[in-house]
Structures are given as C-alpha cells and as structure tokens.
C-alpha cells in the first residue's frame, strides 16, 4: 500500500518507512509538535483511516449514482468522530452528512474526504461552503475533482478562508476506486 501526503505550500519528499512503502511529503519548517502530529502519529492511524475511507465511500453505492461515491471522515484527537457518504441524487454529499453527524466544536477537527469538496451549487449546496461555515480548520483530500466545474476551486475556496488543505492521502487507492464513477453527474 502506498500513501501520499502532500502539503500545498512548502513541501519536500521524504521516505519515512520503506518497509511499509509509506512516503510523506511534509512542510520542512515544522515544530516538534507538528512533526509528531503530521508524521509520527498518522503512521499508526493511516491504515485505519484508509479502511474508513474505503468502507464509507463504498457505502454510498449504488444509491448515489450518477454522483460519484464520496466518503468523509471527521477526526478529532486521532479518533474518528463522525463519517458520511454521498446520499441518493439530490441528497446530502459526504461532507454535509459527516458534519451533521457531529454536534461538538469543529475547530480541532480534521475532515478527510475522498474527493475534493464541490465548490458549486447544483441540486445541493456547495460542500466547500458548508465546511467553511462549520469551523473546520483542516481538510485532507485524497484526489482533486476532475469535473471542470470544480477541479481545484473547492480547495481554493477553503484555502482562501484560512483552512489548511492537504491533498494526496491514499490517492492511489481512492483514484483506482473512484475512476469509473467520475465525470457522470
């Protein structure tokens, strides 16, 4: 299994554990606390998180189609506190489901999402706007949305509001699974 973690600002590649084929891309100007939270601690949580990504995303099928099956997991203090997946057409997207499932403060919560949050209003509100309003300060996205209506715009909206955005965790696994469902909505 290969996992990628990309910082969208100042980054460099570093192989941390070749036995597990885990490669991280991290900000080199980190405090010891950030190094622990971003590098050391996640090594133990990522396999569990990837399982949540997979199970939560798959739970959306087949009802979510023609939308892609997207999963969102909210994590606080290393623990999964809520999760959501894309509902049937016209229903909530994964991010809205997960945010609605947790009623505590969001400032320390990290949202892990399999596909970039949407930035446009269609049958549902823009997920990037819902995340901004929720108070979440960090979002980790597996892959960019190739839909031309979005494709980076969701991440830009989050960053513009001061939300830290990382992209690439479990990107290979998520890309392989989501590829057949992208571009059909």
Q: Would you please indicate which residues are annotated as catalytic (active-site) residues?
A: 95
d(CA 5, CA 67): 26
β-pair type (79-85, 110-115): unpaired
Both structure tokens of 181: 């469902």
d(CA 15, CA 108): 28
Torsions phi, psi of 117, nearest 5?
-60, 140
Q: Cβ distance 53 to 114 under 8 Å?
A: yes
Cα 154 to its chain centre, rounded Å, is: 12
Q: Which of 150, 140, 141 is nearest to 185 (CA)?
A: 150
The strand pairing partners of 82, in sequence order, are 74
Q: Cβ distance 135 to 107 under 8 Å?
A: yes
For 52, half-sphere exposure in the C-beta direction (CA atoms, 13 angstrom radius) is 22
């Amino acid at each position: 299994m290969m996992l990628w973690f990309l910082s969208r600002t100042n980054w460099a590649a570093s192989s941390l554990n070749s036995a597990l084929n885990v490669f991280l891309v991290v900000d080199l100007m980190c405090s010891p606390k950030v190094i622990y939270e971003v590098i050391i601690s996640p090594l133990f949580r990522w396999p569990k998180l990837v399982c949540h990504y997979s199970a939560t995303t798959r739970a959306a099928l087949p009802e979510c189609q023609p939308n892609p099956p997207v999963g969102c997991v909210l994590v606080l203090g290393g623990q999964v506190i809520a999760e959501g997946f894309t509902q049937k057409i016209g229903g909530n997207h994964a991010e809205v489901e997960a945010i609605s499932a947790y009623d505590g403060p969001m400032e320390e919560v990290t949202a892990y999402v399999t596909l970039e949050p949407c930035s446009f209003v269609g049958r549902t509100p823009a997920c990037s706007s819902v995340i901004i309003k929720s108070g979440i300060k960090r979002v980790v996205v597996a892959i960019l949305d190739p839909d031309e209506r979005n494709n980076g715009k969701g991440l830009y909206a989050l960053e513009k509001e001061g939300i830290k955005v990382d992209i690439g965790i479990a990107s290979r696994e998520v890309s392989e699974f989501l590829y057949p469902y992208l571009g059909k909505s």
